């Protein structure tokens, strides 16, 4: 993806607005796979407008005889979920993606599916897309072991297809489970469609069973909400209302309410949404753990940097295999405001001793939507900010720039 850069600037330090967020990408992608597996029993409402979700929806609408090659582009969730989905379908397809997608490992998921009986081959590099998938899977066992410290999307991909396996599935998680809320989200959404499970210690058991008729209404995206929390944190005063969000979300990124309380942002759930209010508060928390919510890491780290807060961060292990190496990208871009992100034994420390917010900076996005949106709140504290490739946000939050304008923040080319 490539497009022109975008300039962001604002003289106002107060934010007072209502922002209508799109549906959750994470919930939407799970719901679409369930809808396809249920053969119409499951209906999805308030589907996300994110490019990743649009890609997955369009692919799932293709008749099998037209899907000889399926290209997910940069959509990582689609790659993982479709690898499992197509292993159940009759026929042979090649599943591929963008140049970066071909660098993102998928061997752990493929090995798990092959142990169940799937026929999957690598057409270029071992352990990476593209994949040649021939189905349907002829199940050889009902048990799979998988490490808990890998992407939760591998685990969710297996859980989503489990009810359609003749023998069901016993998924044995080895070691500590990373991004547990995403696994819990998957199972809770499956429960909405009548799929029962047992989770005992490190084993998740799903018997072979049919999806029941259900309407799944997708909640607005808490990941998108996180950027508004950051904007509020870097403002002098803020009252931002985000309709549709609730305090009992399935989304792990709703943890942003707890994290941003440390920055003086209160979350009042009322009138069918959440009202963010900025209050004066000294930031004292020194350690932030993103093990259960890695997609919030960039936003919070940039926010701490802008405030000159020398915090420590853990749970960033999966960031290196995302749309880009997000750790390296953060280190490079934060250096432009004089801040260092230093790694030592999987713990990361901000050194803000050289912080300089006196001049305009240009932020590279590395084809990563979250780099663009995590750095955008710096417009509240910099004289001007230029961000490369403004269309990159379409992956998860297409209306982001338009919503900044609603908030009174200047956006232009």
The pLDDT assigned to 1 comes to 39
Does residue 2 carry a pLDDT above 60? no
* Same domain, yes or no: 18 and 29: no
What is the C-alpha separation between 86 and 134, in angstroms, rounded?
8
Residue with tokens 């022109």: 4
CATH number of the domain that residue 209 is part of? 3.65.10.10
Position 378 pLDDT exceeds 60: yes
Query: Do residues 144 and 172 share a domain?
Result: yes
pLDDT at 67: 63
Nearest to 330 by CA among 380, 371, 286, 287: 371
Please tell me the predicted confidence (pLDDT) of residue 319.
Answer: 82
Co-location of 255 and 404 in the same domain: yes
Percent of the chain with pLDDT over 70: 98
User: Where does a domain end: 193, 217, 241?
Assistant: 217
Banded pLDDT at 317 (limits 50, 70, 90)? confident
Task: Determine, yes or no, domain membership for 387.
Answer: yes
Q: Measured at the alpha carbon of residue 31, what is the angle toward residues 247 and 205, in degrees to the nearest 5?
A: 90
Q: Is 295 a catalytic residue?
A: yes
Q: Is residue 229 part of a domain?
A: yes
Tokens coding 305:
């940097």
| Beta pairing partners, 120 | 133
Query: Whole-model pTM above 0.75?
Result: yes
Looking at 186, 217, 248, the residue that finishes a domain is 217
Q: What is the pLDDT of residues 92-103, one digit of tens each?
A: 999 999 999 999
Q: Which residue has the tokens 């399935």?
A: 250
Q: Is residue 1 part of a domain?
A: no
In terms of C-beta density within 10 A (0-12 exposed, 13-18 middle, 19 or more buried), how is residue 207 classed? middle
What's the CA gap between 187 and 206, in Å, rounded? 10
Mean pLDDT of 72-89: 96
Task: Mark whether 38 and 62 lie in a shared domain.
Answer: yes
Between CA 250 and CA 185 the distance in angstroms is 5
pLDDT of residue 321: 73
Both 244 and 188 in one domain: the answer is no
Question: Do both 304 and 391 map to the same domain?
Answer: yes
**CB–CB of 357/345 below 8 Å?**
no
231 in the same domain as 209: no
The answer to whether 299 and 230 are in contact (CB under 8 A) is yes
Domain count, the chain: 2
* Residues 171 and 304 placed together within one structural domain of the fold: no
- Give me the residues paired with residue 23 across strands: 220
State whether the Cα torsion 331-296-380-3 is positive or negative. Answer: positive
Residue 76 has pLDDT above 80, yes or no: yes
Which of 13, 12, 11 lies closest to 236 in space, CA to CA? 13
Q: Please report which confidence band the pLDDT of residue 110 belongs to, taking 50, 70 and 90 as the band edges.
A: very high
Average pLDDT over residues 106-111: 96
Q: Would you say residue 168 lies in a domain? A: yes
Domain range holding 194? 25-217
| Pair (174, 235) in one structural domain | no
Q: Report d(CA 371, CA 382) in Å as an integer.
A: 17
Asked if residue 128 and residue 68 are part of one domain, the reply reads yes
Do 38 and 182 fall into the same domain?
A: yes
What rounded mean pLDDT belongs to the chain? 94
One domain, residues 328 and 262: yes
Buried-exposed string 243-268: b where 16+ CB fall within 10 A, e elsewhere: ebbeeebbbbbbbbbebbebbbbebe
Average of per-residue pLDDT across 297-311: 97
65 falls in which pLDDT band (50, 70, 90)? low
Instruction: Report if residue 194 sits inside a domain.
Output: yes
The answer as to whether 393 is a domain residue is yes
Residues counted in the chain: 413
Which candidate in 295, 367, 368, 389 is catalytic?
295
User: What would the pLDDT profile of 125-156 be if each residue is shown by its tens digit?
Assistant: 999 999 999 999 999 999 999 999 888 999 99
How confident is the model at residue 66, as a pLDDT? 59
Torsion of CA 412, 376, 178, 190, to 10 degrees: -40
pLDDT at position 105, please? 93
| Domain termination site, one of 195, 217, 239 | 217
Q: What percent of the chain has pLDDT over 90?
A: 85
Residue 130 counted as domain residue:
yes
């Amino acid at each position: 993806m490539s497009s022109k850069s975008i300039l962001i600037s604002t003289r106002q330090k107060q934010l007072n607005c209502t922002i209508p967020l799109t549906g959750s990408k994470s919930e939407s992608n799970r719901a679409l796979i369930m809808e396809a597996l249920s053969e119409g029993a499951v209906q999805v409402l308030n589907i996300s407008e994110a490019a990743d979700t649009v890609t997955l929806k369009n692919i799932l609408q293709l008749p099998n005889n037209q899907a000889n090659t399926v290209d997910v582009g940069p959509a990582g969730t689609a790659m993982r979920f479709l690898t499992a989905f197509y292993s159940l379908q009759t026929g042979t397809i090649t599943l591929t993606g963008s140049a970066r997608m071909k660098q993102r490992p998928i061997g752990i998921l493929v090995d798990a599916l092959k142990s169940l009986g799937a026929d999957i081959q690598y057409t270029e590099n071992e352990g990476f897309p593209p994949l040649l998938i021939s189905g349907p899977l002829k199940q050889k066992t009902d048990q799979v072991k998988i490490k808990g410290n890998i992407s939760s999307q591998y685990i969710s991909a297996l859980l989503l297809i489990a009810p359609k396996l003749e023998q069901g599935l016993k998924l044995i998680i080895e070691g500590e489970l990373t991004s547990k809320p995403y696994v819990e989200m998957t199972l809770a959404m499956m429960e909405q469609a009548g799929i029962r499970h047992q989770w005992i210690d490190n084993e998740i058991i799903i018997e072979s069973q049919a999806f029941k008729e259900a309407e799944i209404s997708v909640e607005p995206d808490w990941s998108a909400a996180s950027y508004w929390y950051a904007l509020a944190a870097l403002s002098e005063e803020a009252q931002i209302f985000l309709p549709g969000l609730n305090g009992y979300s399935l989304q792990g990124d709703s943890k942003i309410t707890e994290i941003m309380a440390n920055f003086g942002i209160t979350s009042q759930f009322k009138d069918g949404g959440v009202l963010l209010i900025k209050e004066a508060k000294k930031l004292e928390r020194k350690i932030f753990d993103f093990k259960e919510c890695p997609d919030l890491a960039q936003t919070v780290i940039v926010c701490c940097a802008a405030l000159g807060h020398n915090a420590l961060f853990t749970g960033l292990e999966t960031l290196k295999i995302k749309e880009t190496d997000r750790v390296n990208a953060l280190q490079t871009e934060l250096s432009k405001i004089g801040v260092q992100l230093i790694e030592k034994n999987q713990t990361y420390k901000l050194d803000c001793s050289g912080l300089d917010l006196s001049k305009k900076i240009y932020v590279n996005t590395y084809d990563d939507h979250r780099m663009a949106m995590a750095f955008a709140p710096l417009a509240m504290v910099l004289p001007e900010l230029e961000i490369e490739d403004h269309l990159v946000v379409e992956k998860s939050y297409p209306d982001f720039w338009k919503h900044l304008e609603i908030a009174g923040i200047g956006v232009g080319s």
